[in-house]
Structure 1
Amino acid sequence: MRLLLLLTLTISTLTSSAQNSSLNGVVTANNTPLAYATIVLSSTKYGTTTNDKGFYEIKNITPGEYMAIFSCVGYITERVKVNIAAGNPAILNISLKENSSKLSEVVVTGVSRATELRSNPVPIVVLGKKDIDQHVNNNIIDAIVKGIPGVTAVTTGPNISKPFIRGLGYNRVLTLYDGIRQEGQQWGDEHGIEIDQYGIARVEVIKGPASLTYGSDALAGVINLIPYIPNGQDGKLNGDIITDYHTNNGLIGSSLGLSYKKNDWKYAFRATGKMAHNYQNKVDGYVYNSAFQEYIISGMARVDKGWGSSQSALTTYDNKQEIPDGSRDSLTRRFTVQVAEAGNDDIKNRPIAPQAWLNSYGVTPLHQHIQHYRVYNKTEVKLGDGLFASALGWQQSIRREYNHPTQPGQAGLYVTLNTLNYDWRYSPKVVNGWETSFGVNGIYQTNRSKQATDFPIPDYNLFDIGGFFFAKKSVGKMDISGGIRYDTRNINWDDFYVGANPANGFEQRVNANTPGGRLQFPNFKHTYHGVSGSLGFTYNVSERILLKANIARGYRAPNITEIGSNGLDPGAHIVYLGNRTFGPEFSLQEDLGLIAYLKDADLMLEVFNNQISNYIYQSRLDDANGNPVIIVPGNTTYQYQQSKARLYGAEFTFNLHPRGANWLEWNNSAAYVTGINQNRALIAQSNGAAKYLPFIPPLHIRSEVKLKLQGSYGVFSKVYFRAEADAYATQNRYYALNDTETPTHGYTLINAGMGSTLKAKSGKTICELFLQADNLFDVAYQSNLNRLKYFEYYNASPNGRSGIYNIGRNISMKVIVPF
């Protein structure tokens, strides 16, 4: 870190010595200070957010004329020209008008410089802290699913959600934390994203190929989770205490955040703890083995100087997560407990789980333990009128799955993934209106198995590097942007032998010359290459109406399970079989969009068509007689397939916010996607059972009415009430080959919520209160993206229900106390 700061200081002394200045002021709305408003100087990296008093300050600005953009979710964006003189701080106070539109925003994801959402042709959606707070959830991905049409999640209980964008997920969705790509065994079904939901201030989601800026694994899009950066009063300790409680699974969440700002330095710290017992619904009762415990600590330090800025952060994540296997008593349908090892386990005669275990906060011996550690630095150095940006990070993901009831301390799966992230890019001076950026980024990764008994993937080494060029220019009413990228990824592993372990009676990794050893993973070495790019246009029909068009080619190298897997993943209860001959996936996606910023409403329509070559997917493996292939008793076997595929669909948003009745909002959205398998031979052979792709969500319609009381009522202000209908259509378009998937009935969930800010007579905020009821009428339903739907051991049951159902009625309460 010292060397990095020394390098940046050395570079800065070689650049222009012109005297810089600053811009500051207060942002208000209805004569009230507006917190979390964003201020950006267009076509530059200069930007900040307001504190809880509406104050902002941007330091070390090169003198000149700029376009200052003031934006905040729920308010109309203002653009003001400002002249920054050398050594003379500029003061600019702005009052924003309410406008419930979420469409007019400033984004930083997938662009070279902070860019207005309206001028970005790539489909991108922003979710602010206000929306994240108001949608009380078990995890941050569920909040995104509720707030952004086109985003769904494959779930394995309330705390495990893997994001999908327009029907594509796993390693096709790139998750970022503060712009650094998240690496934590993304191929696994049975764990979520290792990120503190209470520490996220903003989410930016790119829908569609984003390989241009990020390389492989952004084929479906990007989810950038941006943490809070302190911007409070100098020399004063600020913070908040968050308390969260859910009635369904007894979730208790507590989080303490601290921030401090002094001169050019900012510091932030957060500690979070969550625990929950088993969740419940009216069909299954308490779902045994769905409890969890989660503890997260994060810290950040940032310095802003005349030469630029440098920000360093670290996070630690520790999660113990139970995973249900779905075994039950055949008559009572009560959940049972595995007490014997696979060879001696009689599933039909397991003991019933005691009631005391079902609502206990303790974690059972059969669970998984996920630990994730991250350290990173982001530095920006001004080089004349250009900007050099560097991001370096190290992550370690440790994953253990305990699946041996007779030896609960022995992990079935135990892998350690180490990742080095690097990203260097340069944005030169804007010339003749052209904004350009070029750079190189990638990862170096190693994965190692430890003292385990099951080995689904080999120990591998991976090196990934890619270079890109990006350009943007505004010509009259047209904004044009695009670029090109080339990637290369090398992955290799040595021979991996497995043999008997006399100490515990299971298997272990052994040397090649060990008697009785068998070769589970023959050595492998391959380099994948990919060219990706995009070209897009935004046409400003008027200030309020925009037309967007974008075409992008995405690239994704196969992940480790797709090419290398050959064994049991205990937590998923799946034996995976990979294919070493797979080539990389390439997509060609066309997007068309219409956005209208009307006085009393917002309207957004986006349609897309995505053609993918070498699409990789899972299919259940059956024998010649149509019976499931069982390699490990009690576990399903899946084999990866590859073919051409096509996905197409649309998202529609209509938000009504009449200015003559600013107490009313009516927000509506619809999302639809169809996934077609283009392997004609397989479709014909299967009589159409393989026609559709797996994991495709059905038509999803959401409608919300929100009432906002005007004024204050004693200590209560900003009081709102909302009611929501969340409807999913029946999904009859599914991958039916070998019963990999089955049809899913449609359902409608009714949700409701209310909230308020409590203020003292002095105007100081005491706390924010949120009350929410999800699935108010306790509907029994199964999402087609719920993996637990397929956790069933019997062909028929006394109540006619199969598999495990989603969470029932849940009342949640959240209190945020700032200080």
Structure 2
Amino acid sequence: MRSLLLFMLICFPIITNAQDAVLKGKVVADGMPVPYASVLISGTKTGTRTDSAGYYELKGIKPGIHKVTFSSISFESQRHTVIITGTQTTVLNISLKPYSSNLNEVVITGVSRATELRKNPVPVAVMSKTSIEAKVSTNIIESIVKGVPGVNAVTTGPNISKPFIRGLGYNRVLTLYDGIRQEGQQWGDEHGIEIDAYGLGRVEVVKGPASLTYGSDALAGVINLIPDIRQDSTGFKGDFTTEYHSNNGMTGNSLGLGYNTGNWRYSLRGTFKAAHDYRNPVDGYVYNTGFREMNFTGIARTDKKWGYAQIAATLYNNNQEIPDGSRDSLTRRFTKQVSEDDDIKNRPLVTDEELRAYTLAPLRQSIKHYRLYGQSQFKIGQGSAYLMTGLQRNIRREFLHPSDINQASLDIILNTLNYEARYNLPSFSDIESTIGVNGFYQTNRNQNGTTFPIPDYNLFDIGTYIFAKKSFGKVDVSGGVRYDNRRIRWHNFYVGTDARTGFDRQVDAGTPGAELQFPAFSHNYTGLSGSFGLTYNITGRLLIKANIARGYRAPNITEIGSNGLDPGAHIVYLGNRTFKPEFSLQQDVGFIAYLNNMDISLELFNNNIDNYIYQAKLTDENGNPVVIVEGNTTYQYQQSKARLYGAELTWNLRPESVKWLAFNNSLAYVTGINKNEKLIQQSNGAAKYLPFIPPLHVRSELKFTIPGTYGAFSKIFAGIEADMYGEQDRFYALDDTETYTPAYTLINLSAGATIGTRKKCLKLFFQADNVFNKAYQSNLNRLKYFEYYQQSPNSRLGIYNMGRNISLKVVWGF
């Protein structure tokens, strides 16, 4: 009997386990699989996630009545009751519905792991692929300016735009490509963003200090440009985009190809753009503003149960003309430089054929940017690890010698190694936490140029951080701390005259006539940054956000090391080796409501910065401008305390009873105050405000969408927009560094439609910007200050922005 009882005790668990059932099925949304959705049996620890194809399987389920919850970020959760009997296999397929509110949209920028907007206290704006396609512009930064309140751009012609967020730009805005920091001489005024706009599937903009997860250079915020590699179904997929702009004759063509084997997804893209000089009603055609750009991108990715792995490579090649603004003093027609030391008043006129030609002028800049990177994420128990390494090479050459058009004035190669490792710890007491380390190693080398604005240098940057978030019912709390260390150094850099050419060149210390332009330098910059914030979800459609963050930025190379002419900017920069890192303390408060007929968002911010670095014209003791290189302005960097404060408001009306109508409005305002009280008093208030602060910006759009399908046509829309900029009378006026900018309003029109089915369709976009050909100058347009004379016969100084531009864009998906 004892033996029989012992046998039964041993076998009973085995028999019971053999009677356990299996629950399996597939989770989809709009007919497409939902990968990595959570499947959990309520009241138990039994759960799993769907695979990359949306399938799930739960084994070892006891007989009985069970409630199973299916959830995935950006979709509404569903709970189903399942009756399990015996050892059967039960199949349960689920179709999830996307959240109707943008509050539930998922972001990956500025956080350690994917997070819903409603749970993130930091202000983040998102542009989808559809929105990017509809914002027809000459470059991606201008598209973002049109779509995200609080973002502006300093421009040097139509293809060079540097992003500003809430009045801060240059190295204070960190641009990412697929989460990897873009490194391409961001310090330069005329240095644009080396990224193909056609291949993007999404843009995420963090407004405010984001040093916690990215380190230095994210003091103002982050712009993450995410490539499009979406292709959930197996097989081949492609798209072809072509567009034309009437103002500067810009043509853009881009071919993208994708292939999904079921295990791997591949994406290839090639792009070509070209434009001649743009025109406006004051200047006519603006000489030397044409460009030619070519891009290639290749991405391969695999998604598995253990995580994912991805490798990608990009090539950017841009030849960009460099305007200098020289003109005939009477006719105001543009002239061109034909010799090294010519008299600007006797330069020959530019012909009409040259102004309209796609052939680039000899005086131009050439930028090549190569990028190769790999990233992967692995599941480790209940946690996960993310690894990334990337290589970038930026080659920048500027050709400004009319006597030898093949001799580069500026010739610099910047090599960067990016790295990152982070670990998402298992959830403990509902706390999600992450520890990480990231940074980069960089070398900059002057090659065969004749001007040297910055020295050769080596830079090593590393930062470590910890980030955590937790939900308390309707309240979500998150924050963390970070410590950064950056070491930069260079050796003595000597310059001498080349007897063969007469141009300057880099020489050894013992070369006769050698001058020490950059004495050796070595320094460590360290910074402690962090953030703490919360969101209070009053209802599912109404919430309040608050965040406080300390940002950190080490001085960039030109701020501490520059001592020479940047020929493309026509500016001699003088740095200061004693500069300290910038530290900011910013407070953000946001109110967001997504109601049935409208959505409203109000964001207020206040930002105090210690050791703020800015440019100012260099003058002598008599107040006269210091001229080091004839025909070029001299700027010296300054450092002081500063404060920026402002607000962004969006109000979008979409009546439920009139679904074909939308009235979209946004307002952005920022004021930048220079806290250098001594300088303000000495200048009689001329130095009160910070330079390059955008004015009040209001945008209102009335959009009409025709619902339904009409033959082969669908998604038909039309819109009219008023783009209003207030006057900028709060500017850095000391030594005429900036001047007053009057207000202006631009009227824009748009229309579009889709022809064909979802899988094979033709998207048409029409856009008319500045319909009434308004003559205006943006205060962030550097060409406004490209002027050689004190007076003008038509009372117009500097170069004006682009006039009327009509564009047509076609996107063919196949």
Q: Same fold (TM over 0.5)?
A: yes
Give the 3 Å change call, closer, same or farther, for CA 126–632 of structure 1 in structure 2: same
| Contact 1:38-1:70 within 8 A present in 2 as well | no
Q: CA deviation at 1:230?
A: 3.2
Secondary structure class of the residue paired with 2:784: helix
Task: Verify: 1:785 aligned to 2:783, yes or no.
Answer: no
Q: Distance in 2 between matches of 1:42 and 1:786?
A: 53
Superposition map of 1:6-405 within 5 A? 24-28=26-30, 57-58=53-54, 68-69=71-72, 71=74, 78-80=76-78, 91-96=93-98, 102-234=102-234, 236-341=235-340, 344-405=341-402
In the aligned structure 2, how far is the partner of 1:78 from the partner of 1:60? 18
**Structure-2 change in CA distance of 1:553 and 1:176 (3 Å):** same
**Quick check: 1:816 aligned with 2:811?**
yes
% identical equivalent positions: 60
In structure 1, the partner of 2:715 is 718
Cα distance in 2 for residues equivalent to 1:159 and 1:41: 45
Partner residue of 2:464?
467
Q: Secondary structure of 1:797's match? A: coil
* Separation in structure 1 between the aligned mates of residue 237 and residue 91 of structure 2, nearest angstrom: 26
Compared CA separation, residues 271 and 88, structure 1 to 2 (3 A): farther
In structure 1, how many angstroms separate the alpha carbons of the residues matched to 2:408 and 2:89?
Answer: 63
Equivalent pair of 1:60/1:306 in contact (CA under 8 Å): no
Matched, 1:507 2:509: no
**Counterpart residue number, 2:6:** none
Q: 1:757 aligned to 754, 758, 761, which one?
A: 754
Q: Following the alignment from structure 2 to structure 1, what is the Cα–Cα distance between the partners of residues 622 and 58? A: 74
Cα distance in structure 1, aligned partners of 2:506 and 2:258: 47
Contact 2:48 2:57 in 1 (8 A): no
Which position in structure 2 is the counterpart of 1:802? 797
Question: What does residue range 435-474 of structure 1 map to in structure 2 within 5 Å?
Answer: 435-474=432-471
Residues 599 and 34 of structure 1: CA distance in aligned 2, closer, same or farther (over 3 Å): farther
Deviation at 1:104, TM superposition (A): 3.9
Question: CA offset at residue 79 of structure 1?
Answer: 3.5
**CA distance in structure 2 between the partners assigned to 1:517 and 1:628 by the alignment:** 28
| Equivalent AA in structure 2 for residue 544 of structure 1 | R
Check conservation: 2:28, 2:54, Cα contact below 8 A. no
Please say if residues 45 and 114 of structure 1, whose CA atoms lie closer than 8 Å, have aligned partners that are also in contact: no
Note if contact 2:38-2:70 (Cα within 8 Å) is conserved in structure 1.
Answer: yes
Using the alignment, how far apart are the partners of 2:650 and 2:760 within structure 1? 33
Residues 741-792 of structure 1: CA deviation (Å, up to 9, x unaligned) = 00101100011100100016xx653310000001111100000000000000
Distance 2:81 2:268 in 1: 36
Maintained 8 Å contact 1:232/1:238: no
The amino acid across from 1:216 in the alignment is S
The alpha-carbon deviation at position 818 of structure 1 amounts to: 0.7
Distance of 1:22 and 1:612 partners within structure 2: 56
Could you tell me how far 1:447 is from its partner in structure 2?
Answer: 0.2
What is the CA deviation profile of residues 106-147 of structure 1, one whole-angstrom value per residue up to 9, with x for unaligned ones?
101111221100110001111111111111010111110000
| Secondary structure at 1:817 match in 2 | strand
1:693: Cα distance to partner?
Answer: 0.2
| TM-score, structure 2 normalization | 0.92
Shift of 1:189: 1.0
Gap change, CA 1:786 and 1:81, over 3 Å in 2: farther
Q: CA deviation at 1:642?
A: 0.2
Quote the Cα distance in structure 1 between the aligned partners of 2:226 and 2:80: 28
Measure, in 2, the Cα distance between the counterparts of 1:520 and 1:40. Answer: 60
Amino acid at match of 2:71: A
Q: Is the 8 A contact 1:232 1:260 kept in 2?
A: no
Matched position secondary structure for 1:709: strand
Of 577, 581, 593, the residue aligned with 1:596 is 593
Partner residue of 2:12? none
What TM-score do you get using the length of structure 1 for normalisation? 0.92
C-alpha separation in 2, matches of 1:230 and 1:572: 40
- Tell me if structure 2 keeps the 8 A contact 1:653–1:670: yes
Aligned counterparts of 1:61 and 1:475: Cα–Cα separation in 2: 31
Distance 1:40 1:627, change over 3 A: farther
CA shift at 1:732, angstroms?
0.2
Whether contact under 8 Å (1:22, 1:57) holds in the other structure is: no
Determine the C-alpha separation between the residues in 2 that align with 1:607 and 1:214.
23
CA change 1:312–1:328 in 2 (3 A) is same
SS of residue paired to 1:394: strand
CA distance in 1, matches of 2:80, 2:462: 40
Deviation at 1:306, TM superposition (A): 2.8
Please state how far the C-alpha of 1:78 moved relative to its aligned partner. Answer: 2.9
Taking a change above 3 Å as real, the CA distance of residues 405 and 103 of structure 1, as seen in their structure-2 partners, is farther
Shift in alpha-carbon separation, 1:23–1:531, aligned structure 2, 3 A = farther
Offset of residue 89 of structure 1: 8.3
SS of match in other structure, 1:357 = helix
Aligned with 1:455: secondary structure?
coil
Residue of structure 2 aligned with 1:686, choices 683, 686, 690: 683
SS of equivalent residue, structure 1 residue 78: coil
Extract unaligned runs of 5+ from structure 1: 1-19, 49-55, 72-76
Name the amino acid aligned to 1:388.
Answer: A
- The Cα of 1:707 is off from its aligned counterpart by 0.6
**Cα displacement (A) at 1:70:** 5.9
Q: Is the 8 A contact 2:50 2:56 kept in 1?
A: no
Distance 1:211 1:515, change over 3 A: same
**Using a 3 Å threshold, how does the CA distance of structure 1 residues 753 and 38 change in structure 2: closer, same or farther?**
farther
- Equivalent position SS for 1:146: helix
Where 2:707 maps in the other structure, the secondary structure is coil
Q: Return the letter of the residue paired with 1:489.
A: R
After TM superposition, give the deviation of residue 646 of structure 1 in Å.
0.2
Pairing 1:738–2:735 present: yes
Are 2:211 and 2:530, in contact at CA under 8 Å, matched by a contact in 1? yes
Q: 2 CA distance for matches of 1:374 and 1:571?
A: 24
Whole-Å Cα distance in 2 between the matches of residues 445 and 316 of structure 1?
A: 19
Q: Which has the larger radius of gyration?
A: 2
Answer with 418-427 or 538-547: which moved more: 538-547
Q: Could you say which residue in structure 2 is the equivalent of 1:696? A: 693
Alpha-carbon separation, structure 1, partners of 2:627 and 2:91: 72
Pairwise CA RMSD: 2.5
Change (3 A) 1:289 1:808: same
Q: Gapped runs of 5+ residues in structure 2?
A: 1-21, 41-46, 62-67
Distance in 1, Cα, partners of 2:57 & 2:231? 17
Q: In the alignment, which of 623, 646, 649 is matched to residue 649 of structure 1? A: 646
Separation in structure 1 between the aligned mates of residue 163 and residue 442 of structure 2, nearest angstrom: 22
Is the contact made by 2:239 and 2:811 (CA closer than 8 Å) also made in structure 1? yes
- Closer/same/farther in 2, CA of residues 716 and 334 from structure 1, 3 Å limit: same
Aligned counterparts of 1:687 and 1:726: Cα–Cα separation in 2 = 34
- The answer to whether the Cα contact below 8 Å between 1:21 and 1:59 also exists between their aligned partners in 2 is no
Conservation of the 8 A alpha-carbon contact between 1:544 and 1:596 = yes
Structure 1 residue 232 displacement after superposition: 3.9
2:764 aligns with 769
Find the aligned partners of 2:153 and 2:333 in 1 and give their Cα distance.
Answer: 27
